[in-house]
Structure 1
Amino acid sequence: MTTRLRTAAHPAVATAVADRLLRRTAHPAEVRHTLDWAGPVGMDLPDERAVQAACGLMHVHGRATGGPVPLAVDYASVVAGVLAAQGATAAGIGRARGLDLREARTSVAQGALLALGQYLAAATADGPEQPEASGPGLATLDTSDGARVEVETLDPSAWREFWARLGVPATLAGRGWLPFQQRFATAVCPLPDELRQAALGRTLADLRAAAHHSGVSLLTVGSDPAPPVHPAPWRLTPAPGHSAGDVPAPRPALHAPTADLPLTGLRVVESTRRVQGPLAGHVLRMLGAEVIRVEPPGGDPMRWLAPLAGGTSARFTALNAGKRVVEADLTTAAGRDTVRTLTAEADVFLHNWAPGKAARLGLDDSDLLPARPALVYAWASGFGDTLGDRPPLGTDYLAQVHSGLAAAVRPYGEPPAPSLMTLTDVLGGLVCAQGVLAALAARERTGRGCRVDSSLVSAAALIPRPAHRARWTPLDRPLPTADGHLYPGPEARAHPEALRGLLDRDLTTEECAHRLAAHGLTATPVRADLAALAHDPAFRTAVAPPDRCTGHARPYTPWEFA
């Protein structure tokens, strides 16, 4: 068991999120969930901001604006709350299947590290990073009539057409395509200034017309942090009733070396892409399930996204290592039959296809559940049903805009804009996985499968935020030192007069921290080098160094079961 340092306060937001999710989930009362701030990280982390500083969240979120900056919401705490609910629910499933599991432990720091998994993998891979334009930058555009908009497309032709309608030559628009697409991986979007100026010279109506005619999705970025809708984190729809003899019994736990993991012996089939869906499958695999990944012939194109580690994209393996792969062309009858055959012997089928695709393929819940009534069928979408049956592209940044998170993550006085760290992709994958666990827990009682619907927007709504954007003082931002930044702890922020006499920009971060500690004030160095996490003694039991299998560092599994 790891040694846990005493911290100043209980992670109340994380606990509240865990309790909320567990109220929607059947799990044995004997299973406890335990949450703290630091977990296995050997640092005194007294609050959310200290975790954001120490683990690298401030660094990744701040890349686009030129320096480390906190997220103005308790993001790491919410991630940890979902992890705690997952651990308790999975342990309850394990108990129902014959395993002696009574407690699941996790921490806010482990939540932060899991959220940074792709960025950590890229920072520690051997292969070169993908080429990118230098400097920070957001993708958010301003118009001549004072609107701020976020656009999205995965089609370079649509991108060129959008800018052509705003009078931008194709060669210039093309210069913006690479940083625009890479922002999902790099957390920066240094668009050519000519594109920003072209948008600034047109009205919101002009941009909306250009988006409509080119097939680009566009949403207006509002300044209200409150979500316009409050969807449930997930929705469960039980499979149609069957007689007891028609419903296969859930699989018992296997007596194997890894049988201490609660989902050992369960099988998950996933057909997913990008982050949200693969992360859901990744969580279920870490909890012990066998995961079979359906990919197109030749493999998922994301496998070759730089940087490579061991011949495969580090970002891809951060989400998909350990999954078995079956290739199938879903545009053919044979490929669709492959999915039907796999799901007929599976416990879970998971996908994050575009709306309507499952029905067109004949692979919707109504198509698969008759052959496997105990199947849990999960769809992870972008917007669920909050924007009708023809929503915009269901990607992270548009979900941040629609949910109000794009306003909530930045303080009053700054223009609202999504974080270019993929906040809702990560949280959406975790919420989807918890919905699957809730369905599996229900199946232990009824023997029946069900459909699970979750979305990026339903995940974003989990993040508490004030009615109005937060107003920051200078002490809410990292303080510069001679070699980096330091984030003052809660006691130090409460005594600004003491800080003024103790901090010195000519001192290093370590020297400033020691000076504050001598006066009973804590402060956390702001992590600016993710690669160093793999070699930091304080993270030795939280972060695995690069190994032969993946070629990059990764967070250890974020639960301890007892």
Structure 2
Amino acid sequence: MTPRLRAAARSAVAAAIAGRLLRHAAPDLPEMSGPGRERLRYTVDWAGPVGADMPDERAVQAACGLMQVHGRATGGPLPLAVDYASVVAGVLAAQGATALRIARARGLDLREVRTSVAQGALLAVVQYLAAETARDTSGSPEPDSPHPPSAGPDALLTGGLATLETSDDARVEVETLDPLAWREFWARLGVAPLLAGRGWLPFQQRFATADCPLPDELRQAARRRTLVELRAAAHHTGVSLLAVGSDPAPAVRPAAWCLTPGPALVPEARSHPDTGVPGPRPAVPVSGAVLPLTGLRVVESTRRVQGPLAGHILRMLGAEVVRIEPPGGDPMRWLPPLAGDCSARFSALNAGKPVVEADLTAAQGRETVRALAAEADVFLHNWAPGKAARLGLDAYDLLHGRPALVYAWASGFGDAFGDRPPLGTDYLAQVHSGLAAAVRPADQPPAPSLMTLTDVLGGLVCAQGVLAALAARETTGRGYRVDSSLVSAAALVPRPARRVRWTRLDRPLPTADGHLCLGPDARARPETVLRLLDRAGPTTTEDLAARFARRTTEEWTARLAEAGLTATPVLTDLTALAHDPAFRAAVAPPGPVTGHARPYAPWEFA
């Protein structure tokens, strides 16, 4: 693909997602109306700064590591059967465009923003990239190992998904963060505590490793019970359980986020110099490079992925982000592998955020939060439902002391389950939203991807809701409450009415030294691909795997190119991203500060 064609290539899905979100967040973009107002532009293409041809979603997933991480639990690289990277890029484009509106309203001379599907994919694997490129000096076992040493030498472990099957052919996903509840759940299924304990570590580490090598005895115990019996065991032990359906359609289609205006106009609002509309006017540095949110402050009390990623996005857009952590620090800081003295995965989402420690169970700690929020533009949390009200730190409480505040809550299920929701974690959100069925082709049983799809997308959607509220604040002068959820984020992902069916050409083809993903033209012209094989005579697509394994990835890429077909080598080692010249402008190599590779900010502003 020539540079001109590559520059012209656009992801229709990314453009549709960006347009949908901007209709809610910034309806006057990409063109700002009114006398003297200049046109603001956003662009989202396939490759962005990555120096490689990427003609479609499948090529991006192959080159940027999504196939590798998603397929890790099922034995090899596998595409996501949805346009996930394009959806991420669409949200990034909407974020950039909304940030442009905020910047212009604040007097910053920014007019254009660019992002790409490849940059969206790299952001989606940020934690896995950090872990696999970290220089671990802790001496702790690396949790990406398929057989964690602490599981015990006599434990029968097999890599795979966490999805369980029942005797009546149901498939279920369970979730708990409590090791005692986990042990009691399996005790009710007749599993000895020691054996159940051997499954706890891989079960919890699946969020980090995208693999779940449970002892096979646990899977067998589940297969001996009915769905009703598993539901009863879960109910009595406090374990969350959802049945995995085969319908890819979302169970609910909530708005990506909900904005609720604060009770009153901000008293200190000053009029916009162009429109005369009241709005907060934060001080902005007048010299040096600035980003759209430069001069704004975010205070976050978050954990795991969804909330920290939302803060990470706002920090990359220029805001100062202050973390509130419990006394002694967030326990996630010490999960191996370590990069220096901090968990690489934790660092990937939280580096650059100053920390204030506060015990939220004590009055003094809660007062610390109120004091920080009183001087902030945004307060962000992903606490469990009801916790904010119990602490006296709900939107009403903090907006009373800071009317200009944007108060954001990133939840798991919103109000989809009333006041007794299951645990709001990624895999249960995939199940409830239908994404667990949509991400796999019809010849595979439905199951969530163990890549944290909704955690990442949920963090991005939360950040975009915050940007929408900040943009509205510039116009109305009000503070806002922003509500988003993992389920509302998952509903953004387009999917067909029925699960997709793939041929052998739709899957990565093993070569002599790796895997190759055929491009859209090759997948559409199987007869041309078959003619390239070495042996004359009739050949079916089912024979392709053995035939492609006779030549290297480079040889096949060249042969396909001679026939006018494209193909993309499948990345199976994320550490290669830090050294590949094609990714030099998109991925920062391990450095003295972070100790791990990381994607650069996924926007270019001008």
Q: TM-score, normalised by structure 2?
A: 0.90
Partner of 2:331: 301
* Structure of greater Rg: 2
CA distances 1:402-423 after superposition (whole Å, capped 9, x unpaired)? 0000000001121000000000
Task: Say whether 1:499 aligns with 2:508.
Answer: no
Match of 2:233 in 1: 210
Give the Å deviation of 1:256. Answer: 4.5
In the alignment, is residue 115 of structure 1 matched against residue 138 of structure 2? no
After superposition, residues 437-452 of structure 1 pair within 5 angstroms as 437-452=467-482
Q: Specify the code of the residue in structure 2 equivalent to 1:12.
A: A
Are residue 515 (structure 1) and residue 559 (structure 2) matched?
A: yes
Matched-pair contact (CA < 8 Å) for 2:65–2:574 = yes
Find out whether 1:76 has 2:85 as its counterpart: yes
Q: State which of 84, 91, 109 in structure 2 corresponds to 1:100.
A: 109
Residues 246 and 489 (structure 1), Cα distance of their counterparts in 2 relative to 1, 3 Å cut: closer
> Does structure 2 conserve the Cα–Cα contact (< 8 Å) formed by 1:4 and 1:39?
no
Shift of 1:4: 7.7
Matched, 1:290 2:299: no
Which of 341, 344, 353 is matched with 1:323 structurally?
353
Q: Is residue 252 from structure 1 mapped to residue 301 from structure 2 by the alignment?
A: no
Pair 466,120 (structure 1): closer, same or farther in 2 beyond 3 Å: same
Matched, 1:41 2:72: no
CA contact (8 A) 1:250 1:374 kept: no
What is the aligned partner in structure 1 of residue 602 from structure 2? 558
| Aligned-residue offset at 1:494 | 1.4
Q: Displacement of 1:136 after TM fit?
A: 2.5
Answer yes or no: is 1:55 the counterpart of 2:69: no
Match of 1:234 in 2: 257
123, 130, 135: which is aligned to 2:143?
A: 130
Shift of 1:491: 1.1
How far the C-alpha of 1:321 sits from its partner, in A, is 0.5
AA aligned to 1:558 is: P
How many pairs are equivalent? 559
Q: 1:111-170, CA deviations, whole angstroms, 9 ceiling, x for partnerless residues?
A: 000000000000100116237443520000000011100000000000000000000000
* 2:151 matched residue in structure 1: none
- Structure 1 residues 6 and 243, CA, compared in 2 at 3 Å: closer, same or farther? closer
Supply the AA of the counterpart residue of 1:107.
Answer: S
CA contact (8 A) 2:146 2:211 kept: no
Q: Deviations over 1:507-549 (max 9, x none)?
A: 1111111111111111000000000100001101010000111
Q: Does 1:262 align with 2:262?
A: no
Which residue of 208, 215, 224 maps to 2:247?
Answer: 224
Superposed displacement of residue 192, structure 1:
0.7
Distance 1:480 1:490 in 2: 18
2:179 to 152, 156, 159: 156
Letter in 2 for 1:380: A
Q: State the shift of 1:36 in Å.
A: 0.5
Shift of 1:316: 0.2
Q: Deviation of residue 447 (structure 1)? A: 1.3
2:581 corresponds to which of 526, 530, 537: 537
5 Å-filtered alignment, 1:344-383, equals: 344-383=374-413
Between 468-477 and 124-133, report the one with greater CA deviation.
124-133
Q: Give the fraction of aligned pairs with identical amino acids, expressed as a percent.
A: 77
Shift of 1:257: 2.8
| TM-aligned CA distance change 1:131 to 1:466, over 3 Å | closer
- 1:283 partner letter: I
| Alpha-carbon contact 1:534-1:544 (below 8 Å) kept | yes
Query: CA-to-partner distance for each residue in 1:163-211, whole Å, 9 max, x for gaps?
Result: 0000000000011000000000000001111000000000001100100
Matched AA of 2:20: R
Give, in whole Å, the separation in 2 of the partners of 1:80 and 1:8: 16
What displacement does 1:244 show?
A: 4.1
**Separation in structure 1 between the aligned mates of residue 173 and residue 364 of structure 2, nearest angstrom:** 40
Gaps of 5+ in 1: none
In the alignment, is the contact (CA less than 8 A) between 1:250 and 1:443 conserved in 2? no
Task: List per-residue Cα deviations over 1:226-272 (Å, max 9, x = no partner).
Answer: 0011000000000012474589833132224342x000000000000
Give the letter for the 2:497 counterpart.
A
Distance in 1 separating the partners of 2:7 and 2:109:
30
2:441 paired residue number: 411
Contact 1:98 1:252 in 2 (8 A): no
Amino acid at match of 1:311: D
Structure 2 counterpart SS, 1:429: helix
Deviation, 1:7, is 6.2
Q: Which moved more, 1:48-57 or 1:248-257?
A: 248-257
Q: Return the letter of the residue paired with 2:68.
A: H
- Measure, in 1, the Cα distance between the counterparts of 2:22 and 2:41: 11
Aligned to 2:541: none
Contact map agreement 1:5 1:38 (CA 8 A) in 2:
no
CA distance in 1, matches of 2:5, 2:374: 47
* Alpha-carbon separation, structure 2, partners of 1:344 and 1:4: 50
Shift in Å, 1:5: 6.6
Q: Which amino acid aligns with 1:130?
A: P
Instruction: Give the Cα separation in 2 of the matches to 1:501 and 1:456.
Output: 46
Alpha-carbon separation, structure 2, partners of 1:560 and 1:249: 26
Q: Is the 8 A contact 1:119 1:315 kept in 2?
A: yes
Query: Which residue pairs with 2:14 in the alignment?
Result: 14
- Alignment of 1:400 with 2:417, yes or no, is no
C-alpha separation between the residues in 2 aligned to 1:131 and 1:18? Answer: 34
What letter matches 1:15 in structure 2? A
Structural mapping, 1:23-34, within 5 Å: 23-26=23-26, 28=29, 29=32, 30-34=39-43
Q: CA deviation at 1:32?
A: 1.4
SS in 2 for 1:369: helix
Code of the aligned partner of 2:54: L
SS at match of 2:25: coil
- Please, which runs of 5 or more residues in structure 2 have no aligned partner? 33-38, 148-157, 271-278, 534-547
Counterpart of 2:285, as a letter, is L
Partner residue in 2 for 1:182: 205
Match of 1:171 among 194, 202, 210: 194
2: distance between equivalents of 1:4 and 1:236? Answer: 41
Match of 1:192 among 200, 207, 215: 215
- Name which of structure 1's ranges 144-153 and 18-27 shifts more when overlaid on structure 2: 18-27
